[in-house]
Amino acid sequence: MTSVEKRLDELWAVGKEFLGVSHAILGGAMTWVSERTLVSSISNAGGFGVIASGAMPPDLLRNEIQATQALTQKPFGVNLITLHPQLMDLIDVCVKEKVSHVVLAGGLPPAQAITKLKDKGLKVICFAPAFILAKKLLKLGVDALIIEGMEAGGHVGPVSTSVLAQEILPYIKEIPVFVAGGIGRGEAIVSYLEMGAAGCQLGTRFVCARECIAHPEFKKAFIKAQARDAVTSPQLDQRLPVIPVRAIANQATKDFMNYQRELIEQVDRQQIEQKEAQLKIEHFWAGALKRAVLEGDVERGSIMAGQSVGMVTQEQPLQDIIDELISQAKQSLLSRTFSTTGTNYLC
């Protein structure tokens, strides 16, 4: 092992041990994308794959876990949505199928869910989009945190990854903290590790893995896109709030804006109630992600992607993506040594 490799191992030793992997790189749980094939490929490549359970009922989740276990002997996790009406039943499935880690997403998780998972010996990971929530989750007894900035794809918060890292990493030392949002290269991974992160989570970077089941047109949209093309869904009126989702701008983005304008006019004319208009807005994107990911409708579907999409330039085997990230991380460490000392002592 070279000195550079040793240094990288030291930087993410806590994350590697916590996840039980060679590289403390989690795969972001992307609905319709993070299924058995991609998840097992990430784990087999030395990272930590995470199944996106989304709206799955318990039986479907059980099948997905078992199918993933048939493809890898390495650790992987399951992402559960806290607002799922069968959350506790899904936890029972994870326990019975001997899942090692569960990621609770979509809001502050109920204390009984955390307690049940921990009592059964599962590691609990939760998202902390703000320092105050990080402290609250720490008190609830979670085993690790993911701090995800607004650069990420899908549902996002209002704060950037770099600001969250500065707010949280210096002060949360009791448990591992993983950083996510806008990360597409190994140099960024090293930077967050040096700030105190236990590892990083990437999602967008893995969509164009050869093993990913996403439709070829969905992948082409990623390869063509630049960072500025991944925008958050707009809100035109405070009376009709929109939960921000970052995706590549397309015809559906324009349709959504026009739809909001129509609803605002109807509310102003008292043709519909405000609550009804809000419900219509919430239902606009129903099924849109599935249409894009599985059916290839990249005009009317939702192409959820983070701003790191500009770094996705080709379809590659998953192992090559991981190897590339590790190579970039090592080169970053090596370059810093040169710039500091003028001499390479790490070879």
Pairing outcome for strands 101-105 and 76-81: parallel
Residues 324 and 281 in one domain: no
Whichever domain contains 138, its CATH number is: 3.20.20.70
In this prediction, residue 340 carries a pLDDT of: 54
Residues 197 and 229 in one domain: no
- Of the two residues 92 and 338, the one the predictor is more confident about is 92
Two structure tokens written together for 86:
């069968």
Residues 148 and 178 in one domain: yes
Residues 93 and 189 in one domain: yes
In this prediction, residue 346 carries a pLDDT of: 45
Say if 255 falls within a structural domain: yes
Residues 142 and 254 in one domain: no
Residues 42 and 169 in one domain: yes
Say if 346 falls within a structural domain: no
Number of domains in the chain: 2
Write out pLDDT tens, residues 109-125: 999 999 999 999 999 99
Residues 53 and 168 in one domain: yes
Say if 279 falls within a structural domain: yes
pTM for the model: 0.94
CA 319 to chain centroid, in Å, comes to: 19
Report yes or no: 245 and 64 within 8 Å, Cβ to Cβ.
no
Among residues 17, 68, 85, 76, the alpha carbon closest in space to that of 43 is found at 76
Among residues 124, 150, 148, 141, the alpha carbon closest in space to that of 197 is found at 148
Residues 99 and 42 in one domain: yes
CB-count exposure of residue 117 (10 Å: 0-12, 13-18, 19+): buried
- Average pLDDT (204-220) is 98
In this prediction, residue 335 carries a pLDDT of: 87
Say if 288 falls within a structural domain: yes
Distance in angstroms (rounded) separating the CA atoms of residues 254 and 232:
12
In this prediction, residue 243 carries a pLDDT of: 87
Quickly state the pLDDT bin for 266 (edges 50, 70, 90).
very high
Residues 239 and 190 in one domain: no
In this prediction, residue 345 carries a pLDDT of: 41
Say if 218 falls within a structural domain: no
- Helix pair 318-341, 36-44: axis angle to 10 deg: 40
Question: Domain span at residue 260?
Answer: 225-307
Say if 197 falls within a structural domain: yes
Say if 146 falls within a structural domain: yes
- Average pLDDT (135-158) is 96
Residues 13 and 35 in one domain: yes
Quickly state the pLDDT bin for 341 (edges 50, 70, 90).
low
In this prediction, residue 347 carries a pLDDT of: 40
Among residues 44, 18, 24, the alpha carbon closest in space to that of 319 is found at 44
Residues 62 and 180 in one domain: yes
- Average pLDDT (230-234) is 95
Distance in angstroms (rounded) separating the CA atoms of residues 26 and 203:
8
Cα angle for residues 147, 149, 151 (degrees, 5° grid)? 145
Say if 102 falls within a structural domain: yes
Residues 255 and 332 in one domain: no
